[in-house]
A and B are shown apart, each in its own frame.
Chain A
Amino acid sequence: MNAVSLLFDRHQVFLGEIMSRDGGLERVLLNAEGERQVGPYLSDWQHRGVPIVREVIQVTHGTHTDVFYQERIPVRSHEFWTALDRWSARHGMVLLRLPAECMTTWEGMLRLPLGDGERFSMIVALRAADDGHSAWHAAVSSAIHAMETKDPTAKKKLLELKKMTAGGLMKKLQTA
């Protein structure tokens, strides 16, 4: 099964998209900032794999001891996405899996005049919407259209999107 994940750094700056199939790496698309922060690691992953920590329990003379060792997960392994998720967390980054039907909405969000934090909050709120993806898609498309046609309602539509974001985040907090 194909999946798309969005990668953000600790300041909520968007770095790129990672496409995986059945957990293994399919494709990586990094923007300029993503190339700077993640690019150097990419070639290492392709050669050696993504570092991950495994835990085993050793029993010696009746005593249980926890042992942790590093293993490298090949990019084509079904464990790649999990390893990448843990690598991201260790480096202060966030990996957000996005349903396929939300990709167009996300691409629309990239075209709107939003700050990094605003865009990040918006995608978090979108992911939390159980059945409101179509409402988000409509709202984003409407805001883009207003912006591109220099419609006077463009600012209002952007504000409505930000209200949707606030509502979505509140709902996520309440259900967490």
Chain B
Amino acid sequence: MKERFGAPQEAPRNTVEHLGLSPALLEAYTKELMVTEKGKQKRSITLSVEEWRTPHGKIPPTAEMYLVSKKTADGYALEFRAMHPEALDEEDLSTLLGDAMPRAVGVERTPKTQAALEKVLLERRRATVLREIGAISDKGIRTVCEHVVTQSVDEKLFELPVHDHGSDMLYAIHRALTDGSHVALPEMKRAIHRFGLEWMGWPKTEQDRIRKHLAHSTAHL
């Protein structure tokens, strides 16, 4: 079964937020798609997430997501349907946004659209990782992990001076941020879970020591 790192539970189902996407960054991406070579806004794109409807006609019945493109008076209305929107991983969204969308509106990818798309996907990845970190019970450890998220997003060289309890978890968090594959995120979740189990077995003195050590070893980032 595929692990799910989907949208916030509180987001209504048929929204881009339910896919884990930032509406503001997505809007910036769609605007970039419709900018002409001279920098003018050519047309507008609206992307809506619709209720799942079994594909018919020429779409294979095995398709689990599809995008319908309709021309409007001032641009394109794109309707996205997925059987399990909360289970879509970054690769699925990269295919949707980075391949299907440009083709649906008849434009070629450019370095600018690529950069805008990466912002969308990176923000989703960051939000997913922060959500997992939110489950860590200790506030001090949680703060250290959030600090790693900030530094990883800045793409600084990530290296911890001394390997100790918690180091594996921090490396897994860094990898999950820099590599949005379906391997790195589950590995991070497992590392956080493992650390949480070990944490419960340590005495308070050891917990205090580890907390201080991790804060100290990440302060340079």
Contacts and interface: CB of A to CB of B under 8 A. Distances in A.
Given A69-B60, A70-B92, A90 B183 contact: no
B94 A90 contact: yes
Interface stretch (B35-43, B61-69, B143-151, B152-160): B61-69
Contacts of A51: 91-92, 95
Interface string B163-206: 00000000000000001011110000000000000000000000
A122 to B, nearest CB: 23
Contact of B67 (A41, A44, A67, A86): A67
B96 A92 contact: no
A17 to B, nearest CB: 21
6 tightest CB-CB pairs across the interface, nearest first?
A40-B181, A69-B66, A56-B58, A40-B183, A68-B100, A69-B63
B20 to A, nearest CB: 17
A70 B60 contact: no
A57 B184 CA distance: 37
Given A40-B183, A53-B103, A89-B109, 16 more contacts: A40-B181, A52-B99, A53-B95, A56-B58, A58-B59, A66-B104, A67-B58, A67-B66, A67-B67, A67-B68, A67-B69, A70-B65, A70-B100, A90-B94, A90-B98, A90-B99
A175 interface: no
Nearest to A91: B94
B216 interface: no
A90 B68 CA distance: 20
B184 A40 contact: yes
Contacts of B58: 56-58, 67
A40 B179 contact: yes
A56 B94 contact: no
A55 interface: yes
B60 A71 contact: yes
A57 B63 CA distance: 15
Contact of B96 (A40, A58, A70): A70
Nearest to B183: A40
A57 B104 CA distance: 11
